[in-house]
Amino acid sequence: MGKKRNTGLILAIISILVVLGFLSWFLITIFESEKPQIQLAPIPNFLAEKQEITLIITDMKRGLRNVKVSVKQGDRNITILNKMFPFEGLFNREGTHRFETKFSIDPSTLNLAQGRVDLHVHVWDYSRRSGGDGNLSTSEHKMIVDTIPPAIRAVSRLHYVNRGGSGLVVYQTTSDSVKSGLFINDYFFPGFPAAEESQEGMHVCYFGIPFDIKRNPEIYLWAEDKAGNRSKAKFYCRIRKKRFRTDKIKITDRFLKQILPYFSFYLKETAGEDIVRFLKINRDLRGENAEAFYNLRTKTSPTRLWDGVWLRLKNAANMAGFGDKRTYYYKG
C-alpha cells in the first residue's frame, strides 16, 4: 500500500509539474516581451523634394500586428502608412514576421511648411502584453523642410576668354549656400570665398575653356544648399576663337628605340612591334594623364597659392604649345 501511495504521489507531482511547466511556457510565449525591430534607410535630415524611404520591420516571436507611419508638423498629424497583419496559424507561426516596404514623403504633396517636421513609426506585435495591445516599438526622426534654393548672381560683368584659355568670375551667393561654382557643359569648376573676412557671400571662381570645345557651350553659375536645393544663373561670357598650331612629325624606328625605354614602367605587359607600343603610350597614357590633371580640380586649395605673374623658366625653349595638334607619320 505504501509503495502504491508513493507511486501515485510521484505521478501526481509530475503531472502538476508538467501542467505548471506547460502553463509557464504558454504564458511566457503569449506574453513575451521582445519588441519589434525597426530599420529606416535613408534617414534624411532635410526634405527638399520627394524622398523615398525604405522601412523594414521584424518580430521573430509572436509576429507583427500593426505598423503605422506618420509625419507631424505643428498641430497636423499626417498618416503615411497604416497596415494590419492577420493572425495566422497556431501562435501566429504562419503570420508575418518580417515586412519590407517603401514610402515617400513629398513636402509639396503633403503641403508641408518650411521648418521642422517629425517622422514617427509605431510597430506592435501579437504579444498579449499591455492589455493585449502587444509590445510597441517606436522610431522618431526630426527633419527640416527646406525647398527654397539658394540665390546666386554674377558680380563681375564682362568675361572674354580665348578657346583653351582661362578666366575669372566674381559672384555672390546667399548664406545658405554650401557649395558653388561654374559649369561649362559637364565640366565643373568650384568657387571659393573671395576673402576670409567676406561676410556677403562673395566668391571667385577660376575656370578654363577646353581648347576643343564646341560652339555655344552651356556656361552658368551653380549653387547648392545643405538640403540639396540647387540654383543656376547665366552670365555674360564670350568665347573668342583661337587657332592652335599644327605640326607634322615623322617617326623613325631609331626614334622609337630611343624613347620607349623611358616608358618601360607602362609597357611591361604590352608586347608587339615598337610602333604598337608607341601608340599605346600616345593614346592610352596621354588619356590617363589628361584625366589625372582634370581630377586635380577636386582637390583645389581654397586659398591662392601664388603671387604675381607666372614666368617661363630662364633660357627655357618653347618646344610645344598648349593645344598643339600633331600628326605623326610612320613609314609614310
pLDDT digits (tens, 9 = 90+) for 80-105: 999 999 988 776 778 899 999 999 99
How many domains, in total, are found in the chain? 3
Instruction: Please report whether residue 12 resides in a domain.
Output: no
pLDDT tens figures, 269-317: 666 788 888 888 888 888 898 888 878 777 778 777 888 888 888 887 7
**What is the span of the domain harbouring residue 108?**
32-145
Domain boundary among 218, 240, 262: 240
pLDDT of residue 15: 67
Instruction: Please report whether residue 195 resides in a domain.
Output: yes
Query: Does 159 share its domain with 58?
Result: no
pLDDT of residue 161: 95
Domain boundary among 240, 255, 285: 240
Domain boundary among 87, 121, 145: 145
Ranges assigned E (strand) in the chain: 37-41, 46-47, 51-58, 64-73, 76-84, 98-105, 115-125, 136-145, 152-154, 160-162, 166-173, 177-184, 187-190, 192-193, 202-208, 219-225, 230-233, 238-240, 246-251, 325-330
- Given a cut of 70, whether residue 220 has pLDDT beyond it is yes
User: CATH code at 179?
Assistant: 2.60.40.650
Ranges assigned E (strand) in 209-275: 219-225, 230-233, 238-240, 246-251
Instruction: Please report whether residue 9 resides in a domain.
Output: no
Which of the residue ranges 5-19, 145-159, 205-219 has the most confident prediction, judged by mean pLDDT? 145-159
Confidence (pTM): 0.73
- How many angstroms separate the CA atoms of 241 and 163, rounded? 6
Give, in order, the Cα–Cα distances in Å from 262 to each of 257, 258, 259, 289: 10, 8, 6, 16
Query: Does 92 share its domain with 169?
Result: no
Instruction: Please report whether residue 1 resides in a domain.
Output: no
Instruction: Please report whether residue 315 resides in a domain.
Output: yes
Instruction: Please report whether residue 20 resides in a domain.
Output: no
CB 123 within 8 A of CB 67: yes
User: CATH code at 123?
Assistant: 2.60.40.3880
